[in-house]
Amino acid sequence: MKKIATVYLLFINLLAFAGKGGDDFSKHDKVFYKSGSVELGDATISIENAVATDAFIKFKMVVKNNTKEYLLVKPGEIVLVIDGKEYKAIEKDMIIDPNDIASKVVDIKGLQFRVQQVVIKFNGFSKVEVSKTPIDAPNFKLPVSQNSFEAGAFTLDHLSNEKQTDVVSVKFNVTYYGSNIGIVSPTLAALRFPNGSEFANMKTRSKSILLEKGGTDDFRLTWHDMPKSNGDAQFANLEILWRETFKEGKLIPITPQSYTMEWDPDLTKGKR
């Protein structure tokens, strides 16, 4: 009887030890999670390289845009649920071009984040329904005759320019004051010489700029190696043609989905 009691007490102690972190999981100060994906219809999200310690959870979020529209993703609205408590990241918005792929590392700080399961609520995903009608903007003259101008709900400020024989480069700041989403596509702007020759913008940020009300950003337009038969760009009266650079769009929220990250014992052990 005494022997049975001793064995029973040992069993109870082992259970208690396991509950306090004596199990295999609690041996690891850093745990790794299985990769996976979740479908939102308009977007496919892949979760990769997920890792947690007591102080943080971090994972790479790869988003594939399945539409012909822009996607606006607000990682700061993504919610992690750990032991019934909700946590959010502090991350900049993502803009994903039609049928394109983009990624961001989501890093959330906290306490007691080293857990076996984490529920992620993928809030903050929206499709941008772009108007088919571009916004008219006045041609911008070089040499500069006016530093600021308006195009619909956009205000643009000329910041700087370089005007040499075979190089023209102009930097602008743009602010959107509308109630929808402002879309700026600098690659669509062109440069026109007095003889009527036009040249596409050669160097700028390739991604469009999406701005919410009050949002601001800057961009640079550049042209170079233009045939000298068009004249010397340094002395010529040039014009920037905006064409379809400025548009507006409406946000169409995408229904949120949840995903459960499970810890990967084999991967965790292999990282020790």
Token pair for 30: 């850093």
Domain assignment of residue 168, given as a range: 140-249
CA distance 233 to 170: 13
- Average pLDDT over every residue of 5-12: 44
The length of the chain is 272
CA distance 161 to 163: 7
Closest CA to 139 of 272, 258, 243: 243
Q: Are 156 and 241 part of one and the same domain?
A: yes
**Confidence check: pLDDT of 37 > 70:** yes
Q: Are 168 and 223 part of one and the same domain?
A: yes
Does residue 142 or residue 205 have the better pLDDT?
142
Q: Which residues, including other chains, have CB under 8 Å from residue 27's CB and lie 6 or more apart?
A: none
> Any idea what the CATH number is for the domain that residue 101 is in?
2.60.40.4170
Residue 203: pLDDT band (50, 70, 90) is low
Torsion of CA 121, 25, 85, 41, to 10 degrees: 0
Which stretch of 5-14, 32-41, 112-121 has the lowest confidence by average pLDDT?
5-14
- Average pLDDT over every residue of 169-191: 96
**Confidence check: pLDDT of 242 > 50:** yes
Q: Are 79 and 98 part of one and the same domain?
A: yes
Q: Reduce the DSSP state of residue 257 to 3 states and report it.
A: strand
- Average pLDDT over every residue of 152-161: 97
Q: Which residues, including other chains, have CB under 8 Å from residue 77's CB and lie 6 or more apart?
A: 88, 123, 124
**Whole-prediction pTM value?**
0.80
83 lies in some domain:
yes
**Confidence check: pLDDT of 143 > 50:** yes
Closest CA to 120 of 27, 21, 33, 54: 33
pLDDT over 90, % of the chain: 78
CA distance 44 to 215: 27
**Confidence check: pLDDT of 74 > 70:** yes
DSSP 208: P
**Confidence check: pLDDT of 171 > 90:** yes
Q: Are 102 and 56 part of one and the same domain?
A: yes
Q: Are 243 and 258 part of one and the same domain?
A: no
Q: Are 87 and 173 part of one and the same domain?
A: no
229 lies in some domain:
yes
Domains in the chain, number: 2
pLDDT computed for residue 57 by the predictor: 95
153 lies in some domain:
yes
**Confidence check: pLDDT of 10 > 80:** no
154 lies in some domain:
yes
49 lies in some domain:
yes
Q: Are 156 and 207 part of one and the same domain?
A: yes
11 lies in some domain:
no
> Any idea what the CATH number is for the domain that residue 233 is in?
2.60.40.1240
Q: Are 202 and 232 part of one and the same domain?
A: yes
Q: Are 48 and 103 part of one and the same domain?
A: yes
Dihedral sign for Cα atoms in the order 227, 229, 235, 241:
negative
173 lies in some domain:
yes
Q: Reduce the DSSP state of residue 124 to 3 states and report it.
A: coil
